[in-house]
Amino acid sequence: MDLVYLAPIGAVLALLFAGYSYMSIKREGTGTELMQKIAAAIHEGAMVYLNKQYRAIALFVIVLAIVLAIWIEPLTAACFVLGAALSATAGYIGMFTATA
């Protein structure tokens, strides 16, 4: 088997495992009313924190993408922006799952 197929296969397996883990977590009980209120407050705070962080990081990503496009190549900048966006998406999904 050619190694070029190993990364997509690993990615699909990781996504399947993540989906299974998420569903098994969601099947668990949510606790008492007080626990639910505390969890909602934690979730809200975590989302506010993450949004503030992402706004700061977005500025850095834009500036660095411009530098990469000028000094190296526009395709390199595009790949950098795509990687940053996918990383941010993974962080958002992880934070949402962990605190929801």
End-to-end CA distance of the chain: 40
Q: What is the mean pLDDT of residues 70-94?
A: 94
Top-confidence residue, 21 or 3: 21
**In the chain, what is the greatest distance between 2 CA atoms, to the nearest angstrom?**
56
Rounded CA-CA distance 33/4 in Å is: 50
pLDDT confidence tier of residue 26, bands split at 50, 70 and 90: confident
Q: Do residues 6 and 17 both lie within one domain?
A: yes
Q: Do residues 26 and 37 both lie within one domain?
A: no
13: containing domain: 1-30
Domain count, the chain: 2
pLDDT score, position 1: 61
Q: Do residues 25 and 35 both lie within one domain?
A: no
pLDDT in tens, 38-50: 989 999 999 999 9
Q: Do residues 22 and 48 both lie within one domain?
A: no
pLDDT score, position 25: 84
pLDDT score, position 61: 97
pLDDT in tens, 55-71: 999 999 999 999 999 99
Q: Do residues 35 and 25 both lie within one domain?
A: no
Is-contact 95 47, C-beta < 8 A? yes
Closest CA to 49 of 2, 97, 96, 1: 96
